[in-house]
Amino acid sequence: MTANFLQLENGQYPNLMKQLKNENERLNAFNFIDETEKTGKIISVKDNICVKGMPATASSKILRGYVPGFNATAVERLEKNGFSVIGKTNMDEFGFGSFGLNSEKPAKNPFDEEYIAGGSSSGSAIATAIIKDHVSIAESTGGSISAPAAFCGVVGLTPTYGLVSRYGLIDYASSLDKIGFMGKSADNIRDVMSKTVGEDPKDTTSLSKNVSNENSRVLYVIDNLMEGVDEGIRDRFESLLSNLANKGYKVEHTKIDYLKHAVPAYYILSMAEASTNLAKYQGFKYGFKVKDFSLNYNDFFMSARKQFGREAKRRVILGTFIRSKSIKQKYYEKSLVLRQSIIKMMHDVLKNGFIITPTMPIFTPKIDEVKDISPVEAYSMDMLTVPPNLCGFPHMSFPYFYEKGMPLGAQLITDHFNDYALLDFLSEWEKDFKYTFKEELG
């Protein structure tokens, strides 16, 4: 089975909506589809990014019924440039997951419904895969754009932290969350990205830096980062490196020893921040509201917070523990120091070229197989996508191979604010390597 294109031709929006609803029944790509007639270019938006008048649930029962009266800055800027939002895409609850299964409606891979779509931006990847020339606005904390992009055979670009305003984003971990893009071509992504970047007075973490495109013909492979990668993935990746070398790229091998600590540092920091960010969901202001005011204090708030899914509860509990007085210095503060060390070490490599890795260390698993994976094993699947996310470096997953009909993705990382160099690489890849999504799917 292969992903099929939905067409938007001659302004036949109702026809697209009919097809999209049928596909959504099969794949669970959207939490909400807006059937109102649209004009201009259409985009979809991950369900933890606010769109005025559309539900924003972050795939959580605790936010069911919440409809924001404002747009996220990224959405506002795109709508002012003629883009229209067709719906809110499915995701792992609050971004907690790598497989797209921590949702009321598990996301399914458009190439084969027995396989995962990846997470947490699962719905954005599916929408991009099945709608012609589509770009979806997604979000990444530790690999939430790259993972589903790789599993669904599309391009996922995660910008430099702060380059795109986070105003209107339902937070997971504030120092890690980045709004980014999924598409099928460099031109489509560049068109959308260029209209969203820039400083925003509503977001103190947004930056006004110019975005460069300093290209390099040097690709660094981090050997110790490859140690946990499936042997079959390594073989396919070596073939990619050979192809790139034949096209004039110089492949260098190096080590960054501290990267083995990136995943534990990431989860310590992200869970601590998540437990803080999710504290505001108390059954009063947003979404689910407790109506029994006869309950005592603890029972009142527990009746609201039990609406969290299992993974959300796990991360809130662990994050609260990590922030406790007796533990904070031992783990949280050390993770902050480690993060700065990894940033410096990666920067020392990136100032001389790109870093290239497989996007995910495994082939796309079946949904039934993931059910047997422990939480710790699931967290370790982020070993390749966590380092650039932890450090705020821009990175891009792009498809380069198909294994038994399922796509594989490679990840390219560059230095801060050199985001457009990733799209320049992709433009060259599309041209020189004769790769187009449409040709592969036939």
Catalytically active residues, by annotation: 46, 120, 144
Q: Using an 8 Å Cβ cutoff, are 44 and 134 in contact?
A: yes
Contacts of 7 (CB under 8 A, 6+ apart): 16, 19, 132
Q: Which of 174, 189, 109, 157 has its CA nearest to residue 367? A: 109
Q: What is the Cα–Cα distance from 35 to 164, expressed in whole angstroms?
A: 28
Half-sphere exposure of 49 (CA within 13 A, CB side): 31
Provide the angle, in degrees to the nearest 10, between the axes of the packed helices 122-130 and 13-27: 130
Q: Using an 8 Å Cβ cutoff, are 8 and 19 in contact?
A: no
How far lies 58's CA from each of 25, 29, 292, 411, in Å? Answer: 19, 13, 25, 26
Q: What is the Cα–Cα distance from 436 to 413, expressed in whole angstroms?
A: 21
Q: What is the Cα–Cα distance from 434 to 225, expressed in whole angstroms?
A: 29
Unique residue bearing structure tokens 């969203």:
196
